Structures are given as structure tokens and as C-alpha cells.
Amino acid sequence: MDALASLANGFAIAMTPTNLLFVLIGVTLGQLIGALPGIGPSAGMALLLPVTFGLDPVTALVMLSGIMYGGMYGGTLTSVLVNVPGEAASVMTAIDGNQLAKQGRAGQALAVAAIGSFLAGIGSVTALVFLTPALSSFALNFSAPEYFLLALLGITATASLGTGSALKAMIGATLGLMIALIGTDPIQGTSRLTFGSLDLLEGIDFLPVAIGVFGIAEILVSMEQTQSGQVVRTRLKDMWLTGKDWAECRMAIVRGGFIGLLIGLMPGAGPTVAALLAYVVEKKASRHPEKFGHGALDGVAASESANNSAAHGAMIPMLALGIPGSASTAVLLAALVLLGIRPGPMLLTEQADLVWGLIASMFIGNVILLIMNLPLAPLFASVLRIPYSYLVAGILIVSLVGAYAISLSLFNVGLTLVFGMVGYLMIRADIPRAPLVLAVVLAPMMESALRQSLMLSEGSGVIFVQRPLSAVLALLVIGSLCLPLLSFLLARRAARRAGVAEALSHSPD
């Protein structure tokens, strides 16, 4: 009841006209910034940080966090419509979302992403209201061994992620692993495969890879032929979700939301990892895994629910312990510090008004975002009515400006083009790109966590099964490796039996 009383108080604070206005401003800016390729929510929040200097702390925080989760909604737009991930966490949305757009179902993809994000967001904020202390101490049980196993779980799924042969999927993943190797080794400080380039010292940023391999590569493929000026024409009323669509996505949203919350809680993994893992899990859970990569609505629903849920989940360790769980919460913490509020375990009690006002504002903000995105989904989708030739010019320029904005250097622009060409060649050589992206995100986490675990255990591998959580994850890893093998063997045995039976039935006796 305590939480409810505090929440009511929080609503009283969040509902003041000023705060309501700034929630609206925040989520609108977030939506815009999320939609711009290259500039993610964390960079957008930092760019707009100076605006908040004169504001009341609650107002400032409400606006900044609005940008954070607004960005999760906004990133969907560019991913679905033009296949350029608006921000890193929307990368999995680009895979299926854009396929759907090509089939004239952009409206559905956007609608299900908005609904999924909304439900998962509200779910996470509700968890934030009632379970923050419990969840934050749960989050601390996650350390290097668990991260290693989690990343391993994701990486081992790559073989199944392609649309064609497992061999090609693994090749895609290996390319991703190679990209992830480049840069300074965080544990020992040695530079690997940088070939003396300073720009490569911190490794290759994820965004140039994502923008290049998805956005630019897709444009190159479509530019092979003269654009005949034909566009996907759909009527507005065809753009709503049918009952069938909804039935297909319901569970995806629930699963995505839970995975997102769980991953968001962990200080070592953010919304991008959440979206990747939710997509992988959804593919395994789905009744039509063959559709993934060719426009699976539930794939979009799962990854979009997960990234929004993770963005909210990251608030739990931030508010309860003062630990940033993602790049965006790091900026939020910096904002708190600038506002003269010291984050830490006492924040919940010392700054109860601020915290509850913020939490209440997230309910409001998600509602605003839903209202903004759902009716407007067909409108946003109508961007695709612009003849492709003209659209291409805009996509290319804005993507490259976005790539420049990542670190204000032309190096990332060049890198984006290089990965665009790599992506094009991969499409033509029939090597799937999703495993590459997955490996780029998960490989550094897996490598560091493996080494950190062994350092923590002084070289003993027992650490991976000793801790209760890691033991569970280890079982999951073994299970996920063995199940396909088992089902393959069973299927073969069944086939052989059938074959034998058939042979017997045909034998002239």
C-alpha cells in the first residue's frame, strides 16, 4: 500500500502543468531523436542536457527520461520504413519490420511496435513501483559468469538465425566476431588488429555497422534497377492490426517484455542486448520460425517490447543503487549530479518526491507515446509513398550525417560506407546479416565476461556452475545446444523407421 500512496503522490507531482508539458516535450523530442539514425537517446539527452540546467530537478528528469524511452518508440520508425536502425536497440526491428513494409504492412509493424512498447513499458514501470528493492538486489546477483553464459546463449543461437544454411549463418557470425575483436583489449590494454589506426583504438562502433549493413546495403540492392517510380500502395484501412495479427503477437509482447525487463535490470547489458535476445528467443518460441527474416510481425513485437521494457528496467538499478544499466541511464545520473542530487542507495528515501514523480511521469509518457504513435502509424507509413529515388537521396544523406554525429569524425562515415558495401556483398553471397549484428554486440560482452569470471575465481571454471543463477543459465545453454541435436536425431530415427517401414511395405513378400 505504501508504494501506491507514494505513487499517488508521484502522480500529483507529475500532473502539474509544467511537468506534464515537459513530459510531452521530452517524449516528442525522444521520438524525433530516436528516429534519426546515428543519434541515439543517450546522445540526444546529452545534447539537450544544458536545456535542463535552469529547471526544477523533477521537471528536468521527467523530460530527459522522456527522451530516453521516447527514443525507443522513435527508433522503430526508421528501422521499419527505410531499414536504417534509428538507434542501436532497434536493429532487430529493421530485419523483419522492413520486410513487412515491403509487403505493404508497414502500418501493422509500426502499430504492433507501438502497442508492444506501450504494454512492456507500462509493465516495467509497474515492476518499478512495486519491486524495485527486490529487483535491484536480484540484479546484483548478475556478474561476469552470468553475463558470459547469457552472451553464449545468444551466440549459440546464431546458427539458427539465418534464413538459409546454418553454415552461412555461422560465417555471418564469424565476420561479426572478427569486427568485435578490433580495438583495445579492455582487460589487458593491448591493441588488437588496429593496424596502427587511432580511430580503431576504441574498436568499431556498433552504429556504423548497423547503419551500413542494413540501411546502406539495402539501398545498394534496390538501386541495381532503375526505380520505376512504383511504390507500395496501401489503403489506410489496411494498415490496422487484424485479430489474427494480434493473436500472433500477444505472447511475443509478453515474452519480449519480460526478457527486456530482466536484461534491462542488469548493469552490464542494455536495450540492444535485450532486443537481440528477445528476437532470438521469439524465433525459438514462435510457431512459424521460418517467417523470421521474411517479415515476422511477432519478431518486431518481441524486440520492440524488449527494448522499451529494458529502457525502463535500467531505471531500477539506477534509482535503487545509483548504478547506470545503460548509456542513457548514465546520462540521467550525470544530470542528477549536475542538478545537485547525489544518486545512490538513499535516493529512494531522500528524494522520494523526485523518484515517484519520475516514475509517475513514465506512465504518462508511455500513454502519450501510444497516442502519438498508434493513430499516426499509417501517416508515418505514408512516407513510403514518396517515390523511392527521392527517398533514397534523403536516407543516404541523413544516415551519413547520423554516422558523422556519432563521434564527429568522417572516419565513422567511411566505416558506414565500408559496412554498406560489406552488407551488399553479403546479401549477394546469401550470407545472413542478423548473425553478424548479434555477434558484434554479444562477442565483446562474452569475451570480457569470460576473462573477468576466471579472474574472479582465480582460474577455476567451477564459477560457471557454482553460483545458483549461473548454474541455471549453464543448463539453458546446454539445453539449447542439445535440444536441436536431439530433435534432429529423433527426426532422423523416425525417418529411418518410416523408411524401413516403407521399404518393408514395398518389399515383395
Partner 1 sequence: MIQTNTEMRSSVPLHLRLKHTAIAFALGAACLAAPTALQAQGAPTGPIEITTGTSPGGTPDVLMRRAAKILNEQKIITNPLVVQNRTGGSWMVAANFVMGKQGDRNVVLCIAQPILTTPITQGLPTLYDKLTPISMFIQGDLVLVVPESSPIKDMKQLVELAAKRERSVKVAGAQSGSTDHMVSGLVEKAGNVKLNYVPFDGGGAAQAAFLGGNVDFMTLTPGEALPLVKGGKARIIAILASERRTAPELKDIPTAKEQGYDVVWGQAWGLAGPPGLDAETVKFWDEAIAKLVANPEWQASLKENFLRSQMIPAAEVKPYMQKLHDEHLALLRDLGLAKQPAVQ
Partner 2 sequence: MRLTNIIAALVLLGLSATVLLGTWQLPYWADFAPGSSFTAFWVGIIGIVLALSLLVTAVMDDSTEPHSFPDRSGILRIVALTAGLWLLVLLIPPLGFVTASILFCLFLLLGIERRPIVPSLFTTVIVVGVVYGVFIAWLGIALPTGPLGI
Shortest spacing between CB 124 and partner 2, in angstroms = 28
Shortest spacing between CB 446 and partner 1, in angstroms = 12
CA distance 190 to 201: 10
> Cell numbers at residue 241, please?
492490426
| Residue closer to partner 2, measured from CB, 176 or 324 | 176
Interacting stretch for partner 1, rule CB under 8 A, among 17-25, 26-34, 160-168, 408-416?
408-416
* Footprint of partner 2 on 461-480 (CB under 8 A): none
* Footprint of partner 2 on 204-223 (CB under 8 A): 220, 223
| Residue closer to partner 1, measured from CB, 221 or 456 | 456
Q: Is 396 in the site for partner 2 (CB under 8 A)?
A: yes
Residues 415, 417, 419, 421, Cα dihedral to 10°: -150
Q: Is 141 in the site for partner 1 (CB under 8 A)?
A: yes
CA distance 51 to 192: 40
Q: Is 334 in the site for partner 1 (CB under 8 A)?
A: yes
List all residues 6 or more positions away from 62 whose beta carbon is below 8 Å from its beta carbon: 14, 19, 22, 23, 26, 357, 358, 361, 365
The item of partner 2, partner 1, none sharing an interface with residue 222, based on CB under 5 to 8 Å by kind, is none
Q: Is 42 in the site for partner 1 (CB under 8 A)?
A: yes
* Cα–Cα–Cα angle for 216, 253, 395, rounded to 5 degrees: 15
Phi-psi region of 289 (alpha: psi -120 to 50; beta: other; left: phi over 0): alpha
CA distance 312 to 212: 28
Q: Is 468 in the site for partner 1 (CB under 8 A)?
A: no
Answer for which of 76, 452, 470, 480 binds partner 1 (CB under 8 A) is 452
The item of partner 2, partner 1, none sharing an interface with residue 285, based on CB under 5 to 8 Å by kind, is none
Buried/exposed code over 1-28 (b: 16+ C-beta within 10 A; e: otherwise): eebeebbeebbebbeeeebbebbbbbbb
Nearest to 278 by CA among 448, 116, 166, 447: 116
> Cell numbers at residue 179, please?
569486427
CA distance 209 to 424: 12
Q: Is 460 in the site for partner 1 (CB under 8 A)?
A: no
Q: What is the CA radius of gyration of the chain?
A: 23
Chain residues that interact with partner 2, rule: CB under 8 A: 32, 36, 39, 44, 47, 167-168, 170-171, 174-175, 177-178, 181, 185, 187-188, 190, 192-193, 195, 220, 223-227, 389-390, 392-394, 396-398, 400-401, 404-405, 408, 410, 413-414, 417, 420-421, 424, 428-431, 443, 447, 450-455, 457-459
Chain residues that interact with partner 1, rule: CB under 8 A: 42-43, 45-47, 49-50, 53, 139-144, 184-189, 191, 198-202, 267-268, 317, 321-325, 327, 330-331, 333-334, 337-338, 340, 342-347, 406-409, 411, 444-445, 448, 452, 455-456, 458
